[in-house]
Chain A
Amino acid sequence: MVLLNADRNVNNTRRGRERDVPEQVKCLNEFRKRVEAAIPALRRYARALTRDAETADDMVQDTLLRALRSEHLFHGGDTRAWLYTILTNLNRNRLRTLARRPVLAPIKDTDAATGGPESGSRDIARALALLADDQRSALLLVVLEGLTYREVAEVQAVPIGTVMSRLARARSQIKAYLDGEPPVLRRVK
């Protein structure tokens, strides 16, 4: 009850503001348009990050909500890079929470990868799954989303050198995996 009243007030205030300050509305609409234009790329990145369509879209939705909620904090700059930053952070939090909460998974253990290197199932999705989160995100931002090293460094809030070593490690791990070496994180024999 209390919540919705507050909600209604906010909406009224917002409508009032839009009538009074049409300039700002134009600006906001511009921002929203740019957010909208970034959705397909965000979905692509999220899908590759999580390799699960539903999780990915939930994360994209949350990214959009956060971005739109704090659009007043956003003064110029690259909208797309900012959205990638939000999504990257959300994913990091998600994985952290998962790590802390293994309780949630009574799901049957279909670990096909234990079939060994000869099982022919060594595809790129599995390879990505083996990477550390920051490595995976750096690689995807570069090769899939076409960000520059500098942009990735901003998204991940680390120096460019760190981005480069993440890329190098990601690539050599993927190569080792696709070449049929046993994955580092798992004993195959």
Chain B
Amino acid sequence: MIDRDQIVGEDELNAYVDGELAADRRAAVEAWLAAHPDDAAKVAAWRQQAELIRARYGAVADETPPQRFNVEALTRRRYGVLAAAVAAVVAAFIAGGIAGWTVRGAAPAPPSDLARFTTDALDAYRLYVVEVRHPVEVPGDQRPHLVEWLSKRVGSPLRAPELDKMGLKLVGGRLLPGPTGATAFFMYENPSGERFTLYCGRTRDRDTALRYTTGEHNAAYYWVDGDLAYVLSGPAERDRLREIAQAAYEQIDRRAPQQGG
């Protein structure tokens, strides 16, 4: 017969494995395990789980952290626009979208162009939308030159949609590295200084309709037309953003037949 005081439950077994057990119970638990092979096997399995976890992820702490984690730089950014943090969350959400779905199979699958483009586009949006003096490389009043240059670099005929009807003026554009290589980045601005950006690069994804992604303050619409993926980013106001994305989408779509597929 076993004294009730000596019955060892799950909690104590866990505490034993984790070294959280009070010293005076340790001997009792060890005696219990010697007499209960089932529990002993359980404890061994839990220890092995911990080993597996440490074997799988422990080495991450030995990697050199990416440059973007430089605390000095982050400290400067901290005072920057709130959007920075928000956009980081957005990026995490988007990447998380992939992870969340990947997790169902648990092995990380390569991110889709949708996720990669949207993440990069929102990063670029966050980075440049706050820029006062140098938001673009080529100003919007040189539209033909800008479009010709970016088309050449991206490797596909581009078009900077005219969004004046929506109250948006082309600030200009720049060339950016993107998920699939050279990527064009157009920036638009309304009279109150709100900015929207169109990010556009080559993709192998098939055509899609508008796809919405949102965070707290930023949001984006993604679509694919022909061999190009587009991401329109702006403040998180779904309807307005959709209107603008729709306008851009239609103008770009009309271009498609002239291109001959």
Q: Report which A residues bind B (CB closer than 8 A).
A: 1-5, 7, 10-11, 14, 32, 35-36, 39-41, 43-44, 47-48, 50-55, 57-62, 64-66, 68-69, 90, 93-95, 97-98, 101, 103-113, 121, 123-129, 139-140, 142-144, 148-149, 164-165, 167-168, 171, 174-175, 178
Contact = CB atoms under 8 A, between A and B. Distances in A.
Contacts of B24: none
A62 B92 contact: yes
Nearest to B189: A1
Contacts of B77: 65
Interface of B: 10-11, 14-15, 18, 20, 42, 45-46, 49-50, 52-54, 56-58, 60-63, 65-66, 68-69, 71-72, 74-81, 83-85, 88-89, 91-109, 111-112, 114-115, 130-132, 193, 208, 211-214
B63 A40 contact: yes
A69 B85 contact: yes
Contact of A144 (B54, B103, B104): B54
Contact of B89 (A51, A90, A95, A174): A90
Contact of A168 (B11, B95, B112): B11
A50 to B, nearest CB: 5
B95 A111 contact: no
A124 B58 CA distance: 13
A51 B99 contact: yes
Contacts of B15: 149, 164
A36 B84 contact: no
A68 to B, nearest CB: 5
Nearest to A127: B49
A68 B78 contact: yes
Nearest to B41: A175
A129 B103 contact: yes
Q: In the A-B complex, list the 3 residue pairs whose CB atoms are closest, starting with the nearest.
A: A52-B99, A126-B106, A143-B50
B89 A62 contact: yes
Contacts of B76: 11
Contact of A65 (B50, B66, B88): B88
B66 A57 contact: yes
A104 B94 contact: yes
A148 B18 CA distance: 8
Nearest to A43: B60
A58 B85 CA distance: 10
A26 to B, nearest CB: 15
Contacts of A94: 89, 92-93, 96
A90 B45 CA distance: 31
A41 B103 contact: no
A4 B135 CA distance: 12
A104 B85 contact: no
Given A7-B79, A57-B66, A44 B106 contact: no
Contact of B95 (A54, A127, A143): A54
25 contacts: A3-B130, A40-B60, A43-B60, A54-B111, A55-B98, A94-B93, A98-B100, A101-B97, A104-B114, A106-B211, A107-B98, A107-B102, A112-B107, A113-B105, A124-B56, A126-B106, A127-B49, A143-B18, A144-B53, A149-B15, A164-B11, A165-B11, A167-B18, A168-B14, A171-B45
Contacts of B66: 57
A62 B130 CA distance: 19
B156 to A, nearest CB: 22
B3 to A, nearest CB: 23
A101 to B, nearest CB: 8
B204 to A, nearest CB: 13
A1 B133 CA distance: 9
Contacts of A97: 93, 96
